[in-house]
Amino acid sequence: MTYGLADVVNQRRMIDESPAGEDFKTIQRGKLDALLALAEATDCRRVRLLGYFGEDSKPCGNCDNCLHPPATWDGTEAARKLLSCIYRFHQNGGQRFGAGHLIDVLRGKVTDKVTQYGHQQLSTWAIGAELSEQQWRAVLRQLISLGHVFTEGEYHTLALADTARSVLKGEVQLLLRVPSAAPKKGRTTRVASGKTRSTADAPDLDFEAQQRFESLKAWRAEVAKEHGLPAYVIFQNVTLAEMARQHPHSLDELAGISGVGSKKLEAYGREILRVLDAS
């Protein structure tokens, strides 16, 4: 199964905001948790599936996990770092934040929001600098799937579930899947004109600008998924291409790009600058 952190958050939000009764929501959350557990499983999927229906079985030897056991790593310490960071936010005046800011703090990335809240003073500042943003997103996705973290509210802020306590205390070991390698930046598909699709969308970009353009498109796709909108509603390709070409380093510079209105600047400006700086 192919899915990302945004998919998990969106599905939970749809259940939470449903007008259905609480009993029905509880059933739906249980089904989603079971599905996520099946998707993240590192053991036999048949055993997992039949176990959900109360049946015992032995490894089938035919599912993808049996035929090609997924690579795993001991993510216990990484999970404890991530959970500790969420806990420190809550200790610091009951603050709650989303995935992007959490990962920035874990990796020790100075941003306007980090400076605004003084989070470089937290004990969890930069304790996860050894992992990439992609790796941290994979850890967070699996912690949500395992039920140790949940999201809430319009902005999908992160909170600790009761089970997080046992992880923080080191009472359980977490073997997590190694995230699949992301497609190399710059890889493109051919279109009828003979040009690559990315080049057709953003002509006359040099190599570095093309990398920034691809990163911006990936970020836009994730935001569009989170909000259930077509990608072009967030930003059109021509606007992303101009961002990649000009590579603004401040909100004022970003505001000067055609297609970046005041509302979008407020909603997405800092994230765009982060993506550009990381490309």
Structure tokens at 147: 């039920």
Does the structure show a pLDDT above 70 at 202?
no
Q: End of a domain among 124, 151, 178?
A: 178
> The domain containing residue 40 runs over which residues?
1-69
% of the chain surpassing 90 pLDDT? 29
pLDDT tens sequence across 248-257: 999 999 999 9
205 within 8 A of 245, measured Cβ to Cβ: yes
Residues 102 and 155 in one domain: yes
pLDDT digits (tens, 9 = 90+) for 37-93: 777 777 898 988 888 788 988 999 988 888 888 778 888 999 999 999 999 999 988
Does residue 263 surpass a pLDDT of 50? yes
Question: In this model, does residue 221 exceed pLDDT 80?
Answer: yes
Reply yes or no on whether the pLDDT at 27 is more than 90. Answer: no
Q: Considering only residues 88 and 32, tell me which one the structure prediction assigns the higher pLDDT.
A: 88
Asked whether residue 99 is assigned to any structural domain, the reply reads: yes
pLDDT of residue 144 exceeding 70, the answer is yes
**Residue 24 in tokens:** 């029905």
222-246: per-residue pLDDT in tens? 888 877 777 877 888 888 989 998 9
Q: How many domains does the chain have?
A: 3
- CATH code of the domain covering residue 86: 1.10.10.10
Q: How confident is the model at residue 18 (pLDDT cuts 50, 70, 90)?
A: confident
**pLDDT over threshold 60, residue 194:** no
Q: Is residue 7 part of a domain?
A: yes
Task: Return the closest-CA partner of residue 141 out of 39, 234, 48.
Answer: 39
The predicted pLDDT at position 190 comes to 39
Residue 139 lies in a domain: yes
Last residue of a domain, one of 69, 90, 111: 69
pLDDT exceeds cutoff 50 at 195: no
Instruction: Indicate whether 187 belongs to any domain.
Output: no
pLDDT in tens, 175-190: 888 765 443 344 443 3
pTM attached to this predicted model: 0.54
Residue-wise pLDDT for 118-139, tens only, equals 999 999 999 999 888 888 988 9
What per-residue confidence (pLDDT) applies to 6? 64
Distance of CA 35 to the CA centre of its chain: 18
